[in-house]
């Protein structure tokens, strides 16, 4: 039995794309929608007709091996690349033909959380977290500091302790939270996590899963996770999308991928070596 998200994606795949008149506008709950999105670099076609729907307030995890097209897909969604063809809707707005100035506005709808937090080593925690406000607002230094301290406090970091520290002086967990604080400073509706558990041991990976779910619940954001971590996918995903060679091979809840009709999806999960029967949701 397929869930509603799987049915929506399959409907898009079956109906073709390119002609916006053939589709209704995305609903208010569909915050990210891709319709027959293709991307080529020269003669190399990396994405071969992607249909995707991410619902507001949920966690969508895109999984796939190296070379599947995950990074290219991410760059298209956050408006760092333009598709060769197809439509991309972000928060109800079709962005594929927008001018660059308008794309900057779209990019502010995303908070990026990188694998190792991607903090600037030469800057203090205060300077790292304040960076989006310095770049995109005209707030005073006092107002910026107040907002930074507020966000750090919400994320269980004591501003008096951490503001003047450098990233090298923080634990791994603290760096993750500082990275999240920076991503949340402009209060984006979507948080994007790029391989958040890559290179981490199993225990730390599960703590990152907890943090992703905590952010979703506490701030009401939509989470988009690009990952190869099957265990993480089964723990946090409302929807899992398997990319294989630039195509959506399977879509649905993690259990639907495991028990669904795609032999490729079942084999991909099996080859991960993860015992999915022992995984519970966060």
pLDDT tens profile 60-105: 999 998 889 999 999 999 999 999 999 999 999 999 999 999 999 9
**What pLDDT score was predicted for residue 247?**
96
Number of domains in the chain: 2
Residue 33 · residue 52 · CB < 8 Å: yes
Residue 249 · residue 243 · CB < 8 Å: yes
Phi, psi of 63, deg, nearest 5: -115, 160
How do residues 32-66 score in pLDDT, each as one tens digit?
999 999 999 999 999 999 999 999 999 999 999 88
What are 267's strand-pairing partners?
none
**What pLDDT score was predicted for residue 235?**
95
Q: In what order do the strands lie in the sheet with 222-227?
A: 110-113, 190-194, 222-227, 59-63, 239-244, 247-252
**Among residues 187, 220, 245, which one ends one of the domains?**
187
Termini Cα distance of the chain:
23
C-alpha to C-alpha distance for 267 and 149, rounded to whole angstroms: 47
- Does 48 share its domain with 65? yes
- Does 168 share its domain with 215? no
- Does 95 share its domain with 19? yes
**What pLDDT score was predicted for residue 172?**
80
Residue of 222, 204, 243 whose CA lies nearest to 30: 222
**Among residues 165, 187, 209, which one ends one of the domains?**
187
Residue 198 · residue 121 · CB < 8 Å: no
Phi, psi of 133, deg, nearest 5: -70, -40
- Which structural domain, as residue segments, surrounds residue 155? 118-187
- Does 69 share its domain with 148? no
**What pLDDT score was predicted for residue 18?**
44
- Does 182 share its domain with 214? no
- Does 226 share its domain with 212? yes
- Enumerate residue ranges in the chain where pLDDT < 70: 1-22, 115-117
- Does 154 share its domain with 223? no
- Does 80 share its domain with 56? yes
- Does 130 share its domain with 175? yes
**What pLDDT score was predicted for residue 197?**
84
């Amino acid at each position: 039995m397929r869930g509603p998200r799987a049915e929506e994606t399959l409907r898009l795949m079956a109906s073709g794309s390119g002609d916006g008149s053939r589709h209704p506008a995305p609903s208010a709950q569909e915050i990210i929608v891709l319709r027959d999105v293709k991307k080529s670099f020269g003669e190399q076609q990396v994405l071969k007709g992607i249909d995707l729907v991410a619902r507001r307030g949920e966690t969508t995890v895109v999984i796939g091996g190296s070379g599947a097209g995950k990074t290219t897909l991410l760059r298209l969604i956050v408006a760092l690349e333009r598709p060769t063809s197809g439509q991309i809707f972000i928060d109800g707005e079709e962005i594929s033909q927008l001018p660059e100035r308008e794309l900057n506005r779209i990019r502010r709808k995303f908070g990026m959380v990188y694998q190792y937090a991607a903090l600037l080593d030469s800057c203090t925690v205060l300077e790292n977290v304040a960076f989006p406000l310095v770049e995109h607002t005209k707030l005073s230094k006092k107002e910026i500091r107040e907002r930074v301290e507020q966000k750090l406090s919400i994320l269980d970091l004591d501003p008096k302790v951490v503001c003047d520290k450098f990233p090298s002086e923080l634990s791994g967990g603290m760096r993750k939270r500082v990275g999240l604080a920076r991503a949340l400073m402009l209060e984006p509706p979507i948080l994007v996590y790029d391989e958040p558990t890559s290179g981490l041991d199993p225990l730390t990976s599960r703590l990152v899963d907890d943090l992703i779910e905590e952010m979703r619940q506490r701030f009401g954001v939509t989470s988009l996770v690009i990952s190869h971590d099957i265990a993480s996918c089964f723990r946090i995903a409302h929807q899992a999308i398997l990319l294989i060679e630039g195509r959506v091979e399977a879509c649905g809840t993690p259990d639907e991928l495991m028990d669904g009709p795609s032999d490729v999806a079942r084999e991909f999960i099996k080859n991960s070596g993860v015992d999915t029967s022992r995984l519970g949701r966060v």
